[in-house]
Structure 1
Amino acid sequence: MNRKEIHHSPFELMNQRGIALLMVLWIIAGLSVIVLEFCFGMRTEVHITKHYKEELQLYEMAKGGVCRAIVELIYKQDPRIQQKRKTLDSEELKPEEKEWITDGRPYLLSFDQGRCEIKVMGEDGKVNINTVSESLLRKIIGNLGLEGEERDIVVDSIMDWRDPDDFYRLNGAENDYYRSLPEPYECKNGPLDSLEELLLVRGITPQLFDGIKMKEEEDKEERIGLKHIFSIYASGEQLDINSASPLVMRIVLGIPKEMVQLVSKAREEKPFENQMDLLRRVPELSPFMGEMGRYIIYRTISPYFTIESKATGAEGGYARGLKTIVRIDLMDKNKYRIIQWVDSIF
């Protein structure tokens, strides 16, 4: 039986080999895409895990800053600690043993993974928005740069918001105004439960609430707004001069920046005890005392404090912040109570 031999031309053989090579290349390309996608997914997952770990570390560092501030606030009211500090000169105390000043100046706390910047503000370093008099309120709003009708609208509207009646002042607002808004709501006609309520009041803009820029030391610009000046936890309309921030003193007391700097420097040595002590150590204030003296107290009455804690990594980058309002009470089981807690303020 004759077998028929099959002969392939060189062209046919090259064509078959080309198809096989092309299929191999497609398979390699497909596998490469799969490998790349897998590597990209793994890299993304590692990055997310690392970011989560760093954020968690920063959060715990910020919490540590809050805890340290609470301890310092308890120390300020502990008779034993205070007695020790009084018997020793300021130079004899270690830096970590010195009393913290609650005027918002930053204190640094170091960790292996980074550092934490802590600010403590006594609520008596602010003015109580629910009890401030109309005259002082008008002065404060004017010192923030508002004039004429714009100032009067803000002042009258705040007074109308917190008073119990529906009678509005000349430039104020009551229910008829707020009900006419595109998104209507009622006038409070009562004390504010939170400072953020001010944003509902006629004439108050986010810029006025959050802060306008003012030049401070070394031409640095800082923001000062209603949220920095007022509080619902302050004891009244008088400022504790040992707790008020420099900008708040400028706006509320109406004294020049140079005078504020002298006060801030003097109270770093020790708190002012009374008006005589203040004028003895800062005699330049004498011409201003007649007008501003009635708005000053020399000790903290309110047990409420605001703590801001901002943690940053050792190499910079991410930051995590906390803001809390605490009530210090040595008679309480824990000696303190958290009133408000806000995450991620930075």
Structure 2
Amino acid sequence: MAATRFTRWGLRESTSTSVDPMRIPHSQQPNSAKDQSGIALIMVMVVVLALGIMAAHFSFSMKIETRLAINTTRDPDMEWMGRSGVELAKYVLAEKMTIPIENQFDSLNQMWAGGPFGTNEVLAAISLRDVSLGDGLINVKIEDLERRFNVNVHGPAIIAQALLYMGVESFQSSVIMDSLMDWVDPDLMVRTNGADEEDYLAEPNPPFPPYLVKNGPIDDLSELLFIRGITPEIYYGIPSSDPSMMPMGMGTGTFGLVDLFTTVGGFQVNINTASAAVLQMIPGMDENLAFDIVMTRAGFDGMDGTEDDLPYVRIQDLLSVPSITPDVLQSLRRYVTNRSNTFEVIVEAQIDEYSRIYRALIVRVSAREFAVLNMRWE
């Protein structure tokens, strides 16, 4: 700091003084050191956080890679477990054919369907549930396909009857019938209310992208969703929570095309396994008659698959149903049987927490021989 003072002779004299930095109060000193230490601490925290995130990501990736590696090594085991379940189902169905009387029919109270009957000493020692196999377990379920109509072999009468009982409006029903025939027949002619390739390319059924007409039999029942006029409500059934939208003729409950039809199986339906909804699709059959058939076979408790069931050992046993006369029985013979020859086998295979479901279609070739039509997993 510079200062000016006057001497006794009137001359000005300039003096300067210096400030000792050591004498500056601590509160007035620069904060650069503190700032640098704070920045360093923040940088360390950021680096630690980044390393933590990288470590967590690496750990998660390793878990995924380990799980994928385990699943890959288990795939062959799971497949053989699925195939073993199918072979077990074939053996159970074949062994049932050695049991007197039980080999004359197929019903829901027999062992293959989860019922208490249709067994012998061999089958009594076999279970389809929680079967230990190697390092895992399998659960096997068998369902006959003759409990539904084969959509590929039945004419328009059965399908039209189904749409009628489902409450489908008459014009929409005609659109469905014509479009279904256009879908499966090999020619390129379009029926009055049908649809051809140009229709599906221009306006496909939602939510599907444009597609072509198949002009061949239906391989998977879900193909019906591609056919003009068939909505998810018609295919899956109307939710029963809305009584005003209940299907006609069923009283309570709901059903859709998926409950009535299949793509394989014979022409006739099994009266021992078919539901009342399926039975009332038969020409000449009504709701009350179908209900009587089901309740008569279900026995006193009114439940299928229990000890008091009264399955129809012969077709003429239908005469035990009060509302069936010999004339009615004669008209039903064309559409009904008491045997099933096509089955879907569902195998749930599990090793620790890893599980997979296999589905196979098998057909009876002879009393003790079955052929596998296809097998897939999901």
Shift of 1:341: 1.4
* Letter in structure 2 aligned against 1:263: R
* Letter in structure 1 aligned against 2:165: N
The equivalent of 1:300 in structure 2 is: 340
The equivalent of 1:235 in structure 2 is: 266
Q: TM-score, normalised by structure 2?
A: 0.61
Shift of 1:150: 1.5
Q: Is 1:326 matched up with 2:352?
A: no
In structure 2, how many angstroms separate the alpha carbons of the residues matched to 1:170 and 1:235?
30
Spell out the pairing of 1:1-346 with structure 2 (5 A cutoff): 10=26, 15=31, 17-42=33-58, 44-45=60-61, 48=64, 64=81, 67-68=84-85, 70-78=87-95, 82=99, 90=117, 97=124, 108-109=129-130, 118-174=140-196, 177-178=199-200, 181=203, 187-213=213-239, 224-236=255-267, 238-245=268-275, 247-249=277-279, 254-256=286-288, 258-259=291-292, 260-264=294-298, 265=303, 268=306, 269=309, 271-280=311-320, 283-284=321-322, 286=324, 289=329, 292-301=332-341, 304-309=342-347, 321-327=357-363, 329=365, 336-343=371-378
1:163-220 Cα shifts (integer Å, max 9, x gaps)? 344555443345675566477665444433443433332212233233334599xxxx
1:314-334 Cα shifts (integer Å, max 9, x gaps)? 99xx985444333455799x9
* Letter in structure 2 aligned against 1:30: V
In structure 2, how many angstroms separate the alpha carbons of the residues matched to 1:243 and 1:173?
35
* Letter in structure 1 aligned against 2:217: P
Distance 1:186 1:36, change over 3 A: closer
1:235-279 Cα shifts (integer Å, max 9, x gaps)? 22x202234356534555653585435535466557532223344
In structure 2, how many angstroms separate the alpha carbons of the residues matched to 1:285 and 1:73?
37
In structure 1, how many angstroms separate the alpha carbons of the residues matched to 2:122 and 2:323?
30
Distance 1:99 1:321, change over 3 A: same
Distance 1:19 1:189, change over 3 A: closer
Q: 1:65, 1:109 within 8 Å by CA — same for their partners in 2? A: no
Shift of 1:232: 2.7
Distance 1:85 1:132, change over 3 A: closer
Q: Percent identity?
A: 20
Equivalent residue of 1:172, what SS?
coil
Q: 2:179, 2:194 within 8 Å by CA — same for their partners in 1? A: yes
Distance 1:255 1:149, change over 3 A: same
Q: 1:122, 1:306 within 8 Å by CA — same for their partners in 2? A: yes
The farther-off stretch of 36-45 and 55-64 is: 55-64
Which one has a larger percent helix, Structure 1 or Structure 2? 1
* Letter in structure 2 aligned against 1:147: E
Equivalent residue of 1:125, what SS?
coil
Shift of 1:233: 1.6
The farther-off stretch of 201-210 and 183-192 is: 183-192
Distance 1:14 1:185, change over 3 A: closer
* Letter in structure 2 aligned against 1:307: V
In structure 2, how many angstroms separate the alpha carbons of the residues matched to 1:263 and 1:61?
39
Aligned residues: 319
Distance 1:168 1:99, change over 3 A: farther
Shift of 1:154: 1.4
